[in-house]
Each structure stands twice: as C-alpha cells, then as structure tokens.
A and B are shown apart, each in its own frame.
Chain A
Amino acid sequence: MAKWGMVIDLDKCTGCTACTTACGMENNRLPGENWQDVLFYQEGEFPSGTMKWFPRPCMHCENASCVEVCPTRATYKDPEGGLVLIDWNKCIGCKYCMIACPYGVRFYTDEKAPIQPDVKQVFKGDGKRSWNPPWRAPENRDDWKHGVGVQPNGVVSKCTFCYHRITKAPKGTPDLDPNNPALREFTPACVVTCAPTARFFGDLDNPNSEVSKMIANQRGVRLRDHTGNKPQVYYLTGGAGGAIPTDRRDKKS
C-alpha cells in the first residue's frame, strides 16, 4: 500500500496561485473556499516588512484529529493510499472536524459566500449539488463516498489529493511525476499545474521515491508538528521565497 504524500519546496514557490486555480477547476470549488489555498501574510513592520506566502493543502495527517472526532466516521483514513477523505453520504454537518483540524483546511459550503457575487446564486444547485457550475466534471465522476464532485449542501469538504486521479495510477508507482507523460493524468492537479515545479507527489513509504529522498536530504519539515497529527505534506524551506509562518505573536494584542 502506498502512503501518498506531497513535498512543497517553498524556495521555488512563487505564490502565483495557479495551484489554487487548477484545484478549483478540477474540484469545482467555490471562489474563496479553496481546498488548495495560498495564504499571504506580512512579516515585520515598515520599513523592513516583507510579504510572505504559504501554500496550504490538506495535510492528510497520519494521526488525523479530524478522523477521530467524526462521530459518524464520515471522515476516514483511506487504507489504500493513506489519504484522509470524507464520505458525503455519512457526513451530518456537525463541523466537529473543522473545529479539530489544526490547519483550517475544511469547508462547509452552506454559508455566506466569502466572495461576492455569490456564484451559487448564478449557477443554482439542483438539490443534489450545492451549486451547478457549467464547467463541472461529468456526473459519472461524482464519488460522494470519497468526497469527489460538486459539494452537496450540509456537509464538510476538503482536498482529496485528487483522489479520482491518483487512484488510477499504476500500483507500486513511487512518484507521480507530471513530467512523465504516462503519469501526468494521474497526478494531482495542483502538482501538474505548478509552473516553478515546487510541488512533488509520491509514496512516502517507498524509500526510493523522490519525495522520500527530498524529505531526507533537504530536511523536510511538517507544519505544526507539535500537534502530533503527523502531516503527510512536507515543506522544504531556505527562507528565500515562501515561508512557514512563525508563531502568531509573542505578545497578546
């Protein structure tokens, strides 16, 4: 069994948000509810303040707190690929997983639109879907058991690592490299579209995979590792580009 994971090289990431757009198109995300977000923030103050950015997908944690709090097991750890997925047929919309996620990567679409105009009012849902974008994927690609498709009302959603793509990859593939034409269509959309090649996707359990080597050789770090969630997304950082945010603030506001 693979344990899929992602490596994001922050020295290469330019903060272009192409990943956000690709994910949004691939997964029919509402504007502002980005499964694959790039967060911009400021460090320091004028005149030495700098703008930083930070790409943040779901971490697909090994010890996912969202999995353990879910009272209906709608959020679960996929035994095949080590992904954290949501079964939309079982989710009751209690939002406990959103409370328990240390990374803020979950979305309950049945709320006020974060960006106006509200496209849900433009492309109204049909009762089954919360909205109905004309560019959505074919209906037969909907897979509610794995949280794939247009998000229905009353449930929580999150990044699936493009479950619908990676599960079609040949078994035993150590890395899903978009530069390999044979694997490109099985690679997560954000990885395929990343122009500066800052994203890498592969099997963390395979010591010969490129992602495993990068983590070992370049000291990959995990976000908020002290929570014990053990993310399956690693960051490489030298501080030249994007950066892992430091603690919020030392002093209370």
Chain B
Amino acid sequence: MSNNASTMAAPSGLVNTVFLAGIAGAVISVVLVLASLMGEGHASFNTTSDGVVWGLPISNYLFFVIMSTGLTFVAAFGMVFGIKEFYPVAKRCVWLALATLLAGFASLAFELGHPFRMLWALPTSFQIYSPMNWMGVLYGAELVFIVWKMQKLNAGDWDSGVSKKLGMASFVAAILAVAMLGSVFGMMAMRPYWFGGMIPMYFLLSALLCGVALTVLISYIAYGFERNSMPPAMQDLFKGTTSTLYASIPVVFGTVIGITLVALTLRTATGLWSHQDGFQAFNWMVASPWFTIEAIALLAAFVMMMNPGMRAGQGAQIGAAVLVLVAMFIDRYLFVIGGQVVPVFKGAWVSGFVDYTPSLTEWMLVVMSISLCLAIYAFGEKKLRLTDAPSS
C-alpha cells in the first residue's frame, strides 16, 4: 500500500489566487508590523502592565496552534486509526497543520520581548515547573514530527514502519502540546476565569472543531468550490455517503460542534452562577457583542449540520466551516482577554472591568497569520500534491 493513488489534476485557479493573496497579505502586514515595532516597540500594542498583559496576538497564537492540533487529529483518523474514508484529506491536513503552526508561531514571535533569546534561554534553563516551558518543548516536537511525516508522505511513504510511527508521534505530540497550552491558563489559580483542569480538555475539543472546519473550507478551496471536481472517495466523505456512517464530514463536524456548544454553555453557566471573586469576567464575556456573534455562529453551524436536508450540501458545509472558524477566533479572544479583565489585585477599587481594544499593529499580526497560513497552504497545494492518498 505504499504507492500513491494521486487522483486529481492540477489545483484550481482559486489556489493561485489564494497563494498570491496570502503572499501579498503577509508582506504588507509584516512590513507594517516591523515599521511599528521598530518605531514604537511594543508600545504599538494596546497592552498594559496594569491591564491586559496578553492581548490579541496571544489569542491569535492560540487560534492557530490549537487549530494545528485539530488538523493533526483529522489526519490521524486515516493515518493512525486506519479510517480509510479520511485518506483523501490526510496529506492536506498534515500540511495545513504545519501551515497553521508556523502562522501561530509567527504571531508569538512578534509578541515576545526577546524571541531570539528564547531560542537559547528556553532549552538551557528548562524550568520543569513552567507549563509554558513544556508547551514550547511539545510544540517544538510536534513541528519536527509533522515536517518529518510530511517529507515521508511526499516521498510516497504512507505505511512504512517509520512513517506510521511518525504519524503516531505527531498525534501524541499534538495532544500533549495543546493540553499543555491549556495548562498555561488552567494552572493559574489566581485567575478563576481560566483556572481548572478541564481547560486543556476544552482546548482539545475545540482543536478538533477548528481542525475539521479548516479541513472543510480548504478542501473546497482546493477544488475551486466544486465538489464534483473532487475524487469520488473524497466526495463520499463530504456527502456522508461512505460505507461507514461515522466516517463522514457531516457527522463528525456536526457532532463536534454540538459537544463544543455543550461545553461552552456549561462553562458559561457555571461562571455566571458562581459568586467567587474573579468570575465577574463571565459577566463581561456574555455582555460582549462578540460573544453573541460567537454563540449565533456556532448555533447556526450546528443547525446546518444537524439538518438532514442541509448537512450534505456544499453551501451549508462551507458556511458552517466559516461560521465555526469565526466563532472560534472570537472564542480564543474572549478567553484570553476575559482572564485579565478583572484585575488580580487592583479590583477592589477599580470600578468595572479593564478596557482593552487591540491596536492596528495587533490586528496586523492577525492578518499576517492568516496570510502566512494561506500562502503556505497554497504553496503546498501547488507543489506538494496534497491530493495524494494511499491506493488502498
């Protein structure tokens, strides 16, 4: 089974457009960010020592690296668990996992005070008690495994011993990395909005949701939003006409949206119900118009995937994917900022919540990450035969 069954012709013209748009967006945003940072330094961000310390660049980082884990999950359906129906999207997911990981790292690099110092200070100091240290180690491992696995896949090696082990290693590293990222927040007992051992679980769940959503959106982009252009096996995966009921995009997507909605609802209800100091952040969250948008977007996506007449439709799937990605970007923002809107100490005499609105430079980092992700993806689509799948 080690040979390829590359099925399709060259990628659609849309991919070329995506590539050019990605390159243009990345160049423009990086130039603007560099100009701001060289001119004003991090004063071009709207973060402050006595207010929001981690702002939009951090939530943007979370959005992308957590999505990377989710894409590794989708790839693992086929490559680790042997659910062959997912083979048509496996290689694309591996490449997308790499693209999203790099997009997230780029956002973090511009946010750190000394990103280059990190490269030597992290491994030489190695604070074992710091979740952030372990997060770095695990995401570094995930990056290495994904690159290595991609190299194997590109050489047509889907099922050698090494290739299988790399798939497994990527999957495990991705789980541990996102769980540790959750712990970066979940271990902060002084910030009740974040605190709790279930935060890593929520990150894992929402990682899968984001991974499936991006898989859907990019798969359609790869074929110019023409599902009929997809290979038959891939069409079955998206239409839900596979021989195995659960092995289809509509079922997986709808299920994960539903479970995420339950988790989000229960977390919100618990926070609103509790009177413990610090939980006021949940009031801030639900009062935010962004939360309303997130809730409506997730509910709409859920309805689309639950409706038997809609879930197999191309338009509904693309719409649901976009809605989910927008909702989860907001979710990461509300999560990161919400943990800081009630000051850990000054709150006794601070009336209301801490104000924070991202600056243009911070938004440019978002544009940079999206553009980088799209450019890297489109490069892979053009050069790396992401449509490849094992022949059996």
Contact = CB atoms under 8 A, between A and B. Distances in A.
B349 A112 contact: no
Contact of B125 (A39, A90, A95, A248): A90
A72 B54 contact: no
Contacts of B45: 111
B191 interface: yes
A40 B348 CA distance: 10
B344 A102 contact: yes
A89 to B, nearest CB: 8
B49 A106 contact: yes
Interface string B175-189: 000000000100011
B58 to A, nearest CB: 9
Contact of A68 (B43, B127, B345, B352): B127
Contacts of B352: 253
A69 B183 CA distance: 11
A104 to B, nearest CB: 4
A92 B54 contact: no
Interface in A49-87: 56, 65, 68-74
A176 B45 CA distance: 42
Given A111-B47, A253-B352, A69 B131 contact: yes
B127 A73 contact: yes
Interface in B91-125: 112-115, 117-118, 121-122, 125
A2 interface: no
Given A227-B189, A246-B348, A248-B347, A153 B275 contact: no
A74 B125 CA distance: 8
A246 B348 CA distance: 7
A49 B351 CA distance: 15
B31 interface: no
Given A33-B49, A107-B49, A111-B48, A94 B42 contact: no
A90 B130 CA distance: 15
Contacts of A69: 129-132
B136 interface: yes
Contacts of B280: 248-249, 252-253
Interface string B228-247: 00000000000000000000
B103 to A, nearest CB: 19
Contacts of A252: 275, 279-280, 283
A245 interface: yes
Contacts of B129: 68-69
Contact of B190 (A94, A96, A102, A110): A102
Contacts of B275: 250, 252
B20 interface: no
A146 B340 CA distance: 28
Contacts of A40: 349
Contacts of B122: 71-72, 92
B349 A96 contact: no
B113 A154 contact: yes
B345 A224 contact: yes
A98 B113 CA distance: 13
Given A92-B112, A92-B114, A100-B188, A114 B48 contact: yes
B345 A90 contact: no
A248 B41 contact: no
A42 B349 CA distance: 6
Contact of B53 (A98, A246, A249, A250): A98
B338 to A, nearest CB: 13
A42 to B, nearest CB: 6
A19 interface: no
Contacts of B349: 39-42, 245
Interface in B283-299: 283
Given A72-B118, A227-B189, A96 B344 contact: no
Contact of A247 (B42, B133, B344, B348): B348
B112 to A, nearest CB: 5
B50 interface: yes
A72 B127 contact: yes
A99 B49 contact: no
B288 to A, nearest CB: 14
14 contacts: A70-B130, A92-B122, A94-B113, A96-B184, A98-B53, A99-B191, A102-B345, A103-B345, A104-B345, A114-B48, A114-B50, A154-B41, A224-B345, A253-B283
Given A95-B113, A104-B343, 20 more contacts: A41-B348, A68-B130, A70-B130, A72-B121, A73-B125, A90-B117, A90-B121, A91-B113, A94-B132, A99-B340, A100-B188, A100-B190, A112-B43, A112-B46, A113-B43, A114-B49, A224-B345, A248-B342, A248-B348, A252-B279
